[in-house]
Amino acid sequence: MKEIVDSNKSEILENLELEISLLEKELEKVSLELNLFQNEIRVALIHEIRHINKLEKLYKKQKLAKKAKRLAQKKKGKNYKEPKESIVSKTKPSKKETKTVSDKNLKQLYKESIVKIHPDKYANDSKEVQEKAANLTVELNDLYQKGDLRELENLYNHILSGNAFTSFSEQKSCENPEALEQYLKNKKEKIEAQLAEEKDSHLYFVLKNYKNPSSYISELKIIFKDRIFKLEKRTRYKKQK
């Protein structure tokens, strides 16, 4: 059952929703600027990028071949002994076991959440509710694919609190004010971290501090040319005439 929230809590929730909305718009703007600039760089340096990728794969392949050759030579020696398998302590779970537990928790949270918000469940509801269900499903699937257990738990708690389909600024009431506040705080922190990461990137520095950001492509060409030269030398790459 929804409860009317006191004025202090109401102000906190409204401010959080407003701050999140402004942060989302800023993040969208910054991300768009960076994506457009990245695409410009890729188009200008597509041949260099492809050649570097090709050389790096060749170098990795050659390293593995050399390692296999050295091992084969060692096995021919008289004093060669097969390495013994290390004994894993039974008191401490292995990384594989820990990952298995995390995967199970992740899957369980996902299953319980998707049942609550799947768009098919709201086929007869308003368009606004259907859109919220679709957006929540996208967010849930994204967190599940990334394997982000902490964020998935936050979304799971938000869904179970009954606040998932509520916009507090519009309704002035919600199922669980405390749970909604915690969810909004977590969401705000996440967006702030994403925005900070984008703004700390070198490409963003170039966009905001270079008089002509496109001139950065010329700098990259010099760096890529040097990288190609070193890789071709290491791999003894022969250019086709």
Tens-place pLDDT, residues 103-160: 778 888 889 888 888 889 888 888 888 888 898 899 889 888 888 888 888 888 888 7
Give pLDDT, residue 78.
Answer: 67
Instruction: Please say if the pLDDT value at position 95 is more than 90.
Output: no
Instruction: Please say if the pLDDT value at position 210 is more than 80.
Output: yes
pLDDT bracket for residue 100 (50, 70, 90): low
Residue 82 lies inside a defined structural domain of this protein: no
Distance, in Å, from the CA atom of 7 to the CA atom of 13, rounded to the nearest integer, reads 10
Residue 83 lies inside a defined structural domain of this protein: no
Instruction: Please say if the pLDDT value at position 237 is more than 80.
Output: yes
- For 24, the domain range is 3-74+98-235
Residue 23 lies inside a defined structural domain of this protein: yes
Q: Which of 213, 193, 189 minimizes the C-alpha distance to 202?
A: 213
Min mean pLDDT across 68-82, 114-128, 186-200 is at: 68-82
* Domains: count for the chain: 1
pLDDT bracket for residue 2 (50, 70, 90): very low
Give pLDDT, residue 155.
Answer: 83
Q: Name the more confident of 168 and 124.
A: 124
pLDDT tens digits for range 10-67: 888 889 989 999 999 999 999 999 999 999 999 999 999 999 999 999 999 999 999 9
Residue 93 lies inside a defined structural domain of this protein: no
Q: Would you state the structure tokens that stand for residue 48, as one six-digit string?
A: 């260099």
Residue 62 lies inside a defined structural domain of this protein: yes
Give pLDDT, residue 178.
Answer: 79
Residue 24 lies inside a defined structural domain of this protein: yes
Give the pairing of strands 3-4 and 173-174.
antiparallel
Give pLDDT, residue 229.
Answer: 95
Instruction: Please say if the pLDDT value at position 241 is more than 90.
Output: no
Percent of the chain's residues with pLDDT above 90: 42
Residue 92 lies inside a defined structural domain of this protein: no
Contacts of 74 (CB under 8 A, 6+ apart): 80
Categorise residue 147: left if φ over 0, alpha if ψ from -120 to 50, beta otherwise.
Answer: left
Average pLDDT, the chain: 84
Categorise residue 98: left if φ over 0, alpha if ψ from -120 to 50, beta otherwise.
Answer: alpha
Q: How large is the average pLDDT for residues 202-208?
A: 96
Residue 86 lies inside a defined structural domain of this protein: no
Q: Does pTM surpass 0.85?
A: no
Distance, in Å, from the CA atom of 175 to the CA atom of 180, rounded to the nearest integer, reads 9
Q: Positive or negative, the Cα torsion across 180, 182, 188, 194? A: negative
Q: How large is the average pLDDT for residues 224-236?
A: 95
